[in-house]
Amino acid sequence: MSTKKTTKTTAKTAATKTTAAATPPAKSAAKKTAPPAKKTAAPAKKAAATKKAPAAKKATAPAANKAPAAKKPPESHAALVRRARRINRELADVYSYAHPELDFENPFELLVATVLSAQTTDLRVNQTTPRLFAKYPTPEDLAAAVPEEVEELIRPTGFFRAKTRSIMGLAKALRDDFGGEVPGRIDDLVKLPGVGRKTAFVVLGNAFGVPGITVDTHFGRLVRRWKWTEETDPVKVETAVAALFPKSEWTMLSHRVIFHGRRICHSRKPACGACPIAPLCPSYGEGETDPEKAKKLLKYEMGGFPGQRLKPPPDYPGKPAPPLAAG
């Protein structure tokens, strides 16, 4: 009996231990597994929230940026005409003394001087022509000249061989076809050697009083900066600008624009801070905007320096240019 009871007791105890031993691991496993599940769930929510936030920002950011970037409506033709004519009036006040910057006494001298001005400055031409016209004062004289002698006289203007052919050729054409006189019609002028529309309009406007627009490099650069036209071909520029102004303004408009281009609105570094039409210029800021620094960029009479003519008009406010020997 004692042995049986002991056996039963031992069996119960073993069963109890076995059950107890089996149960705790299950609970322990549950406890250990549960927390990771919670930890995993929380980061998942945060990650989801984090992903959504940038998406919302990206959606709203472009909407906020669109309003300031809205483009201005294109300028109407009527508004362009008003702005262009106002610029012309402002320039007329500033350059009331605007004039052709080549020295000449008659249409023949102006024609020759304009041909010589290609690829050089009016100043250099003015310093060169006194000796040329002293030796060859008429088309007949120049037509009969020795080419090598003409080349030496005009050498300072550059491209002297080609220019000699042009001025001697036009002198011969004037002598043979026009009785030694410069014609007053553009159709006749452009037939002369070395004479294009630009040269023809310089002569017509300043020697004959026939209105014309002179499209040189300064003129073309400025009218594009002012958004009067986007054309680059001189004839197309001439046509576009002519449509903005009455014909009576064409010659003086040309002088004012060219004056402004040479004195203030330079090619490489415009003096924006010293520009009288800055509020009307859509390209303001391309050059120096500081007023004091801009003043140092001014040229000719604007900067207190000699002009381009040896014999300027009486109302010219600057100093005459020096002769070639003094230059």
Annotated catalytic sites, by residue? 198, 216
Interatomic CA distance for residues 176 and 228, integer angstroms? 42
CB 194 within 8 A of CB 204: no
Print burial letters for 269-297: b (CB count within 10 Å at least 16), e (below 16). Answer: ebbbbbbebbeebeebeebbbeeeebeeb
Tokens representing residue 76 in the block? 């109407």
Read off the amino acid at residue 282. P
Tokens representing residue 41 in the block? 């769930």
> Cα 11 to the chain's mean position, in Å?
107
Q: What angle do CA 35, 39, 43 make, to 5 degrees?
A: 170
- State the maximum Cα–Cα separation within the chain, in Å, rounded to a whole number: 164
Tokens representing residue 324 in the block? 């070639």
Read off the amino acid at residue 228. W
Q: Where are the alpha helices (DSSP H) in 95-249?
A: 107-116, 122-135, 139-143, 147-154, 160-177, 186-189, 197-207, 217-225, 234-242
